[in-house]
């Protein structure tokens, strides 16, 4: 990152900028200034609109009294979008029970008009989703998410005709079960895998990198199941604070399938086996 680019950041007295791990979507940097540290995300050759949904999600978390980074600034420098956040100091350990309670607190915030969706779309590097407000969760999850992923997978030649037939059978089961499930539009993180939470230096849990929408809270719980990083203490504390309804274990598999399909689109055939196994599990 050159000095001319750095000079346009809304910070004074920058000492150095060090690249750090920031997931597979953004370039990420730790910025050291005379006044302290900041966290910088950069998306090359994208407009500042790329970060608008994440900024809105961080604001929603703040309004819900959920610990998350605060936005310091955002914009565009030389055709690159950037998002500047305050820096949260990570600790070595924390309580999974407190993390479960924190997620339950977030899910206890409901969209006041009873609709599902969000004011802004989701923008990813490989796929984007519309979040337009709907009266039905099925419209958001199945029609605007799963079906779009199906189309992307087919266009990339990653499914055979037989796998597409299996998906259609799974899709019908999902629709039938969700029609018989009472969903309330909770505030969702939208990408709640283990890489998007941390424990601070004082042990307090925090969430970051949201892909926000209002939807069925089991959507977030499905994401927690795919790659691990959440213990039984997390689920017990969550269920104590905000009990799940009958059939949750089966429905959570639908959201595991969703995240695996996202990864099939992003990373290719290395996720084909996991997607197929999950579809067959739903059919059992």
Catalytic: 209? Answer: no
| Same domain for 278 and 156 | yes
- What pLDDT is recorded for position 94? 95
Tabulate helix, strand, coil % of the chain (nearest 5). Answer: 45, 20, 35
- What pLDDT is recorded for position 23? 62
- What pLDDT is recorded for position 199? 97
Cβ-proximal residues to 18 (8 Å cutoff; 6+ apart), any chain: 29, 30, 32
DSSP class of residue 80 equals: E
What DSSP string describes 227-260?
A: S----HHHHHHHHHHSPPPTTHHHHHHHHHHHHH
- 239: domain CATH number is 3.90.1200.10
| Same domain for 279 and 209 | yes
- What pLDDT is recorded for position 24? 65
Give the domain extent around 65: 3-86
| Same domain for 121 and 163 | yes
Domain's final residue, options 56, 86, 116: 86
* Pairing of the two strands 128-129 and 122-123: antiparallel
| Same domain for 177 and 105 | yes
In a domain, 91, yes or no: no
Please give the radius of gyration of the chain, using alpha carbons only, rounded to the nearest integer.
Answer: 19
Catalytic residue among 80, 119, 191, 216: 191
| Same domain for 142 and 215 | yes
Tokens coding 173? 């089961």
CB neighbours of residue 136 within 10 Å: 14
In a domain, 66, yes or no: yes
Stretch (H or E) spanning 188: strand 186-188
| Same domain for 79 and 102 | no
Strand order in the sheet with 80-86: 14-20, 27-33, 36-43, 80-86, 71-77
At 81-135, the pLDDT tens digits run 999 999 999 998 899 999 999 999 999 999 999 999 999 999 887 889 999 999 9
In a domain, 147, yes or no: yes
- 49: domain CATH number is 3.30.200.20
Among residues 47, 14, 10, 46, the alpha carbon closest in space to that of 31 is found at 14
Distance CA 136, CA 226 (A): 25
Count the domains in the chain. Answer: 2
At 148-197, the pLDDT tens digits run 999 999 999 999 999 999 999 999 999 999 999 999 999 999 999 999 99
What DSSP string describes 125-179?
A: SS-EE----BS-HHIIIIIIIIHHHHHHHHHTT---HHHHHHHHHHHHHHHHHHH
In a domain, 187, yes or no: yes
| Same domain for 171 and 74 | no
Average pLDDT, the chain: 95
Domain's final residue, options 59, 86, 113: 86
Classify 83 in phi/psi space as left (phi over 0), alpha (psi -120 to 50) or beta: beta
Cβ-proximal residues to 63 (8 Å cutoff; 6+ apart), any chain: 109
| Same domain for 152 and 82 | no
Pair 21, 28: CB distance under 8 Å: yes
| Same domain for 113 and 177 | yes
pLDDT tier, 236 (very low <50, low <70, confident <90, very high otherwise): very high
pLDDT tier, 272 (very low <50, low <70, confident <90, very high otherwise): very high
Domain's final residue, options 86, 114, 141: 86
| Same domain for 103 and 76 | no
Distance CA 77, CA 74 (A): 10
- What pLDDT is recorded for position 26? 82
| Same domain for 276 and 185 | yes
Report pTM. Answer: 0.94
Pair 107, 217: CB distance under 8 Å: yes
| Same domain for 266 and 240 | yes
């Amino acid at each position: 990152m050159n000095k001319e680019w750095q000079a346009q950041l809304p910070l004074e007295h920058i000492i150095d900028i060090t690249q750090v791990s920031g997931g597979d979507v953004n370039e990420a940097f730790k910025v050291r200034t005379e006044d302290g540290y900041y966290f910088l995300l950069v998306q090359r050759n994208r407009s500042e609109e790329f970060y608008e949904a994440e900024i809105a999600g961080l604001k929603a978390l703040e309004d819900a009294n959920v610990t998350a980074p605060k936005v310091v600034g955002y914009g565009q420098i030389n055709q690159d979008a950037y998002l500047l956040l305050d820096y949260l100091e990570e600790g070595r350990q924390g309580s999974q029970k407190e993390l479960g309670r924190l997620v339950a607190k977030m899910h206890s915030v409901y969209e006041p008009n009873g609709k599902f969706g969000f004011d802004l779309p989701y923008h990813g590097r490989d796929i984007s989703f519309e979040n337009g407000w709907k009266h039905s969760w099925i419209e958001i999850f199945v029609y605007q998410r799963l079906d779009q992923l199906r189309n992307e997978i087919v266009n990339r030649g990653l499914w055979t005709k037989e796998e597409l037939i299996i998906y259609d059978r799974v899709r019908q089961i999902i629709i039938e079960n969700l029609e018989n499930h009472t969903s309330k539009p909770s505030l969702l993180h939208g990408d709640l895998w283990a890489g998007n939470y941390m424990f601070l230096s004082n042990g307090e849990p925090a969430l970051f990198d949201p892909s926000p929408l209002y939807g069925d809270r089991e959507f977030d719980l499905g994401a927690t199941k795919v790659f691990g990083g959440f213990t039984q203490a997390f689920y017990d504390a969550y269920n104590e604070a905000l009990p799940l309804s009958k059939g949750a274990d089966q429905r959570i598999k639908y959201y595991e399938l969703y995240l695996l399909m996202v990864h099939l689109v992003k990373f290719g055939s290395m996720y084909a086996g996991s997607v197929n196994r999950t579809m067959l599990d739903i059919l059992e």
